[in-house]
Amino acid sequence: MSQFRGIIFDMDGVIVDSEPVHERAFREVFKEIGYGETHGIDFPFYYGRSDHALWQDFITKHHPIETLEQLTDRKQRLFLQIIREEEPIFEALPDLLAQLSGQYKLALASGSFHPVIEVILSMKNLRQYFPVVVSVQDVPRGKPAPDVFLRAAELLQVKPAECCVVEDAAAGIEAAIAAHMTVIGITNSLPREKLTRAHHLVSTYKEIADLLLPLDHP
């Protein structure tokens, strides 16, 4: 893996164990607005995608009286409340970042909005590892389009072919492939059979370290 100069991390499901929290927050808002049992949303389909993508599909299906902005803000507030209370950063993640930051340029490329990203990166002193942070707010299209990854590579001043992406979701894997980057899929959120398009499949952060760090790393 020595051909890489930049490592780009997804956030939800890779940095923070947030996919279950997103679902809890969405379900609570659905319940509050009267769609607790009838929302019809398949949550795993939206892993790696933006909140807007889910809310747009929900609005198309149900035509609620609330606007896209109202629904997005309502869910985000509840999500952040839970995240602040629980701080569900993956336990082995900070050590991995510390090791990789000595060998590679690191970036974060997320389907979340900047306020959410900043709250999560404030935990465990994670912000220090990411000189480049790209949100779906910064690009025309969210995943599975490659825009966030291409923007991250541009800001890192690294060619896409010299980037490796760490992803937990099928949409993110497709985005990395479309960006002509190598992608490591980690089974934090979905089973292996849902991530088979990744170039490498792992279930632990140690396996990522083994792929990306010299053989004699501690």
Q: 25-78, pLDDT tens digit by residue? A: 999 999 999 999 999 999 989 987 888 999 999 999 999 999 999 999 999 999
For 106, phi then psi, to 5°, come to -115, 145
Cis check: omega of the bond before 144, within 30 degrees of 0? yes
Output the six-digit token pair for 180. Answer: 């002509």
Mean pLDDT of 71-90: 95
**Confidence band for 21, pLDDT divided at 50, 70 and 90:** very high
Asked if the model's pLDDT at residue 217 lies above 90, the reply is: no
Convert the pLDDT of each residue in 192-211 to its tens digit: 999 999 999 999 999 999 99
